[in-house]
Copies of this chain bind each other. A is one copy, B any other.
Amino acid sequence: MNNFQFKNPTKIIFGKGSIEKLANEIPEHAKVLLLYGGGSIKKNGIYDQVKMALSNTTVIEFGGIPANPEYEVLLEALEIIKTESISYLLAVGGGSVIDGTKFLSAAALYEGASPWNILSDNIRTEKGLPFGTVLTLPATGSEMNSGAVITRKETQEKLSMGGPGLFPEFSILDPQVIASIPERQLANGITDAFTHVLEQYMTYPAGGLLQDRFAESILQTLIEVAPKVIKDPTDYEATSNFMWSCTMALNGLIQQGVPGDWAIHMMGHELTALFGIDHARTLAVIAPSHYKYNFEAKKEKLAQYGERVWNITEGSTDDKAYAAIEKTVDFFHELGIATKLSEYTKDYEGTAEIISERFTSRGWLGVGEHKSLSPDQVEEIVKMAY
């Protein structure tokens, strides 16, 4: 097990009816900017619940944060934060709205030349404007971590940011919000959380015996509840476990002391930036190719995953490892998630080269748990995913 430091101060308020507890969490006399996305919260009743809970608080609203939160849109919200002297941010949405709010939390206190530098120069945020979240779409884990991913449309870039100042002060998780989420988004959420776990687990045996079992626990639980959530998103046992699994998949816990990969996300982000494919679906496109290409390096963990998560008991290590990849692909397919780039776009030729060039142009920092994949290898993996 590697050395690690772990601190996660976010307060989770989980369960039925928890949105009404919102007012207790926001400081008295705060001037709140309420941030949300495309407006679905006005249809499903969450907006009304939030407004009711904040009836004694000064609230200004900013809606319209798109999926893959866009820098240009966020700059408009940043202007409001400054002109209105906003003191507290409240994200009501999924990972995109929460990630966008994290950018604003950092940018509101950033003193550099341009807020884009936070992303382009990878500036770690030690202190941000305080914020909380009401989660409306389980998937990214952003409600209990300190990272964010922001997209810049004009340059087709999608970059990461983070720092200890960017944990939400609180996050409200009411699994009942899941009832109104479209099936496509549910499938995306399951796929996203599942792949988050894989990125932190599917590397090589590193002596993190407990971390491995926690990772497998989340995967097993997602596999168990996924069909139930899709079939009946009012099934509280299924949805509450789905929601908590998504949070636990990326709140820092399972990554402590063990190597992480994240190559799938790096390549996937480019597919979203280039083609606008849903984030989760890009992960399902890249993951199988990535695991097949790096089979020798990852086969021990792939076989362990096959045995413990998919109950594959027959065959050699290679057999189990290969079968585990197939099981994963089947799982995505059962969720209605296509796993080939050509199923999403006809313009896929040349994509591998573009992604490899982009990685190189940003300064090749290496990809994968050993930071050892070369530009040529990334190209090969993306081509295998066509």
Contacts and interface: CB of A to CB of B under 8 A. Distances in A.
Contacts of A236: 1, 207
A343 interface: no
B209 A213 contact: no
B244 A210 contact: yes
A35 to B, nearest CB: 23
B11 A5 contact: yes
A3 interface: yes
Nearest to A10: B7
A209 B223 CA distance: 11
A12 B257 CA distance: 12
A66 interface: no
Nearest to A6: B12
Contacts of A16: 3
A12 B1 contact: no
Contacts of A328: none
A234 B61 CA distance: 58
Contact of A15 (B2, B14, B216): B2
Given A14-B256, A217-B213, A207 B1 contact: no
Interface string A11-22: 111111110000
Interface string A209-226: 110011011101100110
Interface of A: 1-18, 207-210, 213-214, 216-218, 220-221, 224-225, 236-237, 240-241, 244-245, 248, 253, 256-257
24 contacts: A1-B237, A1-B240, A1-B244, A3-B14, A3-B16, A6-B14, A7-B9, A7-B10, A7-B11, A8-B9, A15-B257, A207-B237, A207-B240, A209-B221, A209-B225, A209-B237, A210-B217, A210-B218, A210-B248, A213-B218, A213-B220, A214-B217, A217-B217, A240-B257
